[in-house]
Structure 1
């Protein structure tokens, strides 16, 4: 079973047929949010989490409900949920990977990031050296 990272968002939105009270929290999968905020707002997840307004959260809530990915989290229910009030997240992007290897396309860069997420050593974390090593593992220069 795949472990899914959820991102918690607070909203005052009141969506019809949605059992969420205004001013409460809901969660969506990180990967879903990442794709949505790029398409809808042209933001990274980090930018969204730092800049979103209640209007933005309402848009996310509506789409998450429509896509069936919403998870009501009035209480924190999963240790994999990101809580910006008590946790920090370091975000690496496709652009970071491209900065190390310009010849890689966006899909290849995302594969590098996904591999880093799965394979990183918590003693060392992710840094430029680990990014370079993962790039070389997946896409060696011939």
Structure 2
């Protein structure tokens, strides 16, 4: 059974002119998301589109394209979704700011709840205060 785990692994080899290009290839292939699989990067995906993207990535690296140029090309072709860490811009601001907004909303809600409990406990009517004073002054009789 353990041998079958490796059967699904991606086995592709590309010849790089320099070790630096190979390192960039590894980083970029982990940064780019498979458009079909959606939860895998192109380095881990066996989908045909990922194979094409890996081949294209190799070609662009060997042609001398910078990381930014490659990412811009992929985003232009497949949309911002192709990146695991999309750029911060007007279209992705909600994606980047949503965790902070939700955290602030949670803290504000918690503060409102705690404030309501504190204010509610301190506000006894005059009748309630008189009844409480009466109860505290009368001794209890054991049955």
TM-score (normalised: structure 1): 0.28
TM-score (normalised: structure 2): 0.28
Larger radius of gyration: 2
Larger strand proportion of the pair: 1
